[in-house]
Structure 1
Amino acid sequence: MDVRPLRVPAYRRLWTSTVVTAIGSQLTAVAVPKQVYDLTGSSGFVGLTGAVALVPLLVFGIWGGAIADVMDRRKLLLITNTGIAVSSVLLWAQAATGVHSVWVVLVLLGLQQSFFAINMPTRSAVIARLVPTELIPAAAALGSTVFTFGAVMGPLLAGALLPVLGLSTLYLIDSVALVLALWVIWLLPPLPPLSGVVRRAGLRDVLDGFRYLVTQKVLLASYLADIIAMVAGMPRALFPEMAERTFGDPPGGGVALGWLYAAIPLGAMLCGLSSGWISRITRHGAGVIVAVLVWGLAVLGFGLANSVWLAVVFLAVAGAADMVSAIYRTAILQTAAEDDMRGRMQGVFTVVVAGGPRLADVAHGWTAAAAGTTVAAAGGGILVIVLTIAWVVVIPVFWRYRAVPSDAEPVS
């Protein structure tokens, strides 16, 4: 990996806070649905946790980006990290004291996700203020690799700890990690707006962000790339049926199901660990396009695979391609957006990243019910390829896009 961004003290502190919370947040991501199922015995209620988590991301992701553009981003990180930590402590308290109320769990989950939705675009918008432009792809790779590592190891660790320490302890571990991360963020330098004007964010700021986005073809194209890849090509809704009917898992679940869910983040993590070459490429637009095409081809291969291990290989390739796309899209957002709009653009990015796979779940599920999983998965891969080629023809400026200088000097 290209670890040069870690030589910048301020970025190293931000990254350290991400490391501390990456696995801890995944423990809670496992603990919440497990507790909901234990309380209700209903997969319907477990599915409701997804809606409870998504709505705050959609609402507060964009508004949080607007807030990040008009106040000190370090202060906003402190506020939102405190909110996330407090809600995690409350989740631990209700589990430890035996409240036994699914609605309390869902309310606390919604509260935590509201703070998280503001925290994420703020954290992303900070990067370009901390590192030089040429190191932004490397910084994005470092951050993404940590998150994918958490996505792989967190659930495995939760599965190992749950029968030994109990569910409430998972919440407690996450709470302790969040408090430690709060201390690291406190060490960051002040990050006020470059204009020097600090004020409240309102509806007008949100609307200004959308008006700005409409004028930025490169940014629009970067969002469209993720929408095409995720909505048309994310096949995770097919995993349970394919694990059982295609790859021979028993009805109660088995090894194939676990590998299918782990394959994409595993591929992304392996790509992140070998991502030093990514920083040397300045054609970020072309990098995104090629990565999305590889994603589509890999999903097509997954849909046609008749062996679970071949399917896992194709999904891992897809995960690596998605990592490359995510790194370059993050770099584009950091460099192509002006600093006073960067938070709002990151907010839209958060909504796109969160919403796309959930729309894909609906689309792939319905298609599989009507035409079968092979058509749903392979057809989705073909659709990604066709739509991407059409998108390049319509917005050719994105193919030619190169990294541009940042509008602010990094701070340490």
Structure 2
Amino acid sequence: MRARHLGMDLTPLRTCRDFRLVFVGSGVSSLGSFITYITIPFQVAELTDSPVMVGLLGLVELVPLLFMAFIGGALADFLDRRRLIIYGELAFTLLTAVLLVNAQRDEPHLWVLFVVAGVTTAIDGIQRPAMDSIIPRLVPPEQLAAAGALNSARMNIASLGGPALAGVLLASVGSTWIYAIDLATFAVSLACLAFVRAVPPPPAAERPSLRSVVTGLRYAKSRPELLGTYLVDINAMFFGMPQALYPFVAKNLGGPAVLGLLYAAPSAGALLATLTSRWTGRVHRHGLMVVLAAAAWGLAIVGFGVAAFGPDALTLGLLGDRDGYSGILWLALLFLVLAGAADMISGVFRSVIWNQTIPDRLRGRLAGIEMLSYSIGPTLGNVESGVAARFAGTGGSIVLGGVLCVLGTGALAAALPAFVRYDGREGLARKIAEDEAWAARVAGNALPETPAVTFTAT
């Protein structure tokens, strides 16, 4: 079947050399990173046998992210974005080497896993805004939608193949080989990035400063359609993200090999949604679609909990008779596939809203805010699900979280009517007008002076 029949446009890969290099390099390193992403919580679960400790990984990751995403966004609007990405890859390479050395010990240090998880998130906060905002500089405007779809497919393939491969490797060769493989993927990524041309900052770029960060925050706050995308997704992920419980769900459904399937199933659903996403171009009520997709995520998570632990998972967990129920693996995976598809649909429409409401001069800073919005929810959600599992059992935590996700989505929809009514046709026209006005100001040198307050080392 031709790619165009699946709604995929490969033009950016054929015509844009630098996009092709970034696509290949980041695709290979993402595959390795997802393998490591599964292995760290697995090691923590093996060392502690505690859902709370696995959930606390999320808290350790959240703290640096809260600061570094803002700094990374400001830097992406001021420096060569390609250089920021390369520095990030070099830092990830070093951190993976630390994990490799730690895994070779007879008894790996738990604190090393937590420190590396936190530092990795800090580096990601610097690199990710540059990665997200570099794409419009590598492809022409008419190919941005195709490039976005290709990047989504790349991430979905990596998040599908990485966990599945991690499950097989954990069950066969262990964590040492996993970290060695991840280390090799960064060599490929760095080789590709070395051939990408420099991506200098846009004209009249603002120097990284507290004022420039506040400018991005004020812009985000002024747009109810942006606030809606952030809050609805944070709610859905906070209550409905059971990822920290996957190692314990896997024990109930078959062991380490099942763990990879659990991580991979949502990505399979997301990839399926991406490959069949042509219909999204005919929908203009983008805010409403984000709300419906978030509610669908919550319902699918409820189904996952029931399939994995039985229809009485919530009530029995609350009564104290926790876990130990036989689950239906294929049905649990099906619900995770549906959840992943719903999350991808939400992501597609959130991305469209962002592209239609964010001026180019603020792209890096808003990319940092976007990163927080899609990271805070899952990060805190892992903590929440781990703590809830102590009181309601693993299955009860999953089911209760899905229910609260649906209820919270409904409450936010009622509180943000402007977001629900958002029409993409009006948003696109407004963004074009804003960009034209800014271009006219640049041409007339009517720009504000560079702020004096800058980030400094302490």
Partner residue in 2 for 1:3: 10
Match of 2:269 in 1: 267
Distance verdict in 2 for CA 1:169–1:346, change over 3 Å: same
Match of 1:204 among 211, 214, 220: 211
Distance 1:136 1:50, change over 3 A: same
Q: Say whether 1:349 aligns with 2:370.
A: yes
CA distance in 2, matches of 1:221, 1:109: 29
Report the 3-state secondary structure (helix = DSSP H, G, I; strand = E; otherwise coil) of the residue aligned with 2:294.
helix
Residue in structure 2 matched with residue 214 of structure 1 by the alignment = 221
Q: Is the 8 A contact 1:284 1:332 kept in 2?
A: yes
Q: Once superposed, what is the RMSD of the aligned Cα atoms?
A: 3.6
In the other structure, the counterpart of 2:443 is none
What is the CA–CA distance in structure 1 between the aligned matches of 2:60 and 2:409, rounded to whole Å? 33
Relative to 1, partners in 2 of residues 1:151 and 1:178: Cα closer, same or farther, differing over 3 Å?
same
Which residue of structure 2 aligns with residue 336 of structure 1? 357
Distance 2:130 2:409 in 1: 33
Pairing partner for 1:68 from 71, 76, 91:
76
Structure 2 CA distance for aligned equivalents of residues 267 and 105 of structure 1: 30
Residue 31 in 1 paired to residue 33 in 2? no
Give me the TM-score of the superposition, normalised by structure 2.
0.74
Report the TM-score when normalising by structure 1.
Answer: 0.82
Residues 239-272 of structure 1 deviation map (CA, whole Å, 9 limit, x = unaligned): 688888xxxx47x858887765543222112222
How far apart in 2 are the matches of 1:99 and 1:378? 36
Match of 1:324 among 342, 345, 358: 345
1:294 alignment counterpart: 296
Q: Which deviates the most, 35-44 or 4-13?
A: 35-44
Unpaired stretches in structure 1, ≥5 consecutive residues:
none
Distance 1:239 1:184 in 2: 34
Residues 121-166 of structure 1: per-residue CA shift (max 9 Å, x gap): 2111122233344543433332223223322322221232345544
Cα deviation for residue 366 of structure 1 reads 6.5
| Residues 298-350 of structure 1: CA deviation (Å, up to 9, x unaligned) | 44655676584445434322211210211222233234212221111111111
Partner of 1:174: 182
Superposition deviation, residue 358 in structure 1: 3.4
For residue 393 of structure 1, what is the aligned residue in structure 2? 417
Query: Residues 288, 204 of structure 1: CA spacing in aligned structure 2 closer, same or farther, 3 A cutoff?
Result: same
2-side partners of 1:40 and 1:317: how far apart?
A: 31
Question: CA–CA distance in 2 between the matches of 1:365 and 1:94?
Answer: 25
Relative to structure 1, is the Cα distance of residues 19 and 362 closer, same or farther in structure 2, using a 3 angstrom cutoff? closer
**Residues 125 and 342 in structure 1, CA contact (< 8 A), matched pair in contact too:** yes
The amino acid across from 1:75 in the alignment is: R
Contact 1:137–1:279 under 8 Å retained in 2: no
In the aligned structure 2, how far is the partner of 1:287 from the partner of 1:191? 34
Matched residues, number: 403
C-alpha distance in 1 between matches for 2:373 and 2:124 = 15
How many Å separate the matches in 1 of 2:259 and 2:179? 26
Output aligned runs, 1:45-84, within 5 Å: 45-84=53-92
Q: Aligned-pair distance for 1:181? A: 0.7
CA distance in structure 1 between the partners assigned to 2:334 and 2:290 by the alignment: 21
Q: In the alignment, is the contact (CA less than 8 A) between 1:27 and 1:170 conserved in 2?
A: yes
Which whole-Å deviations, capped at 9, do the CAs of 1:89-139 have from their partners, x for residues lacking one? 333244447794333443333333221221112111122233344543433
Q: Name 2:132's counterpart in structure 1.
A: 124
Shift of 1:177: 0.8
Give distance in 2, aligned partners of 1:327 and 1:124.
Answer: 14
Structure 2 partner of 1:225: 232
**Distance of 1:237 and 1:104 partners within structure 2:** 18
- Residue from 373, 377, 380 that aligns with 1:359: 380
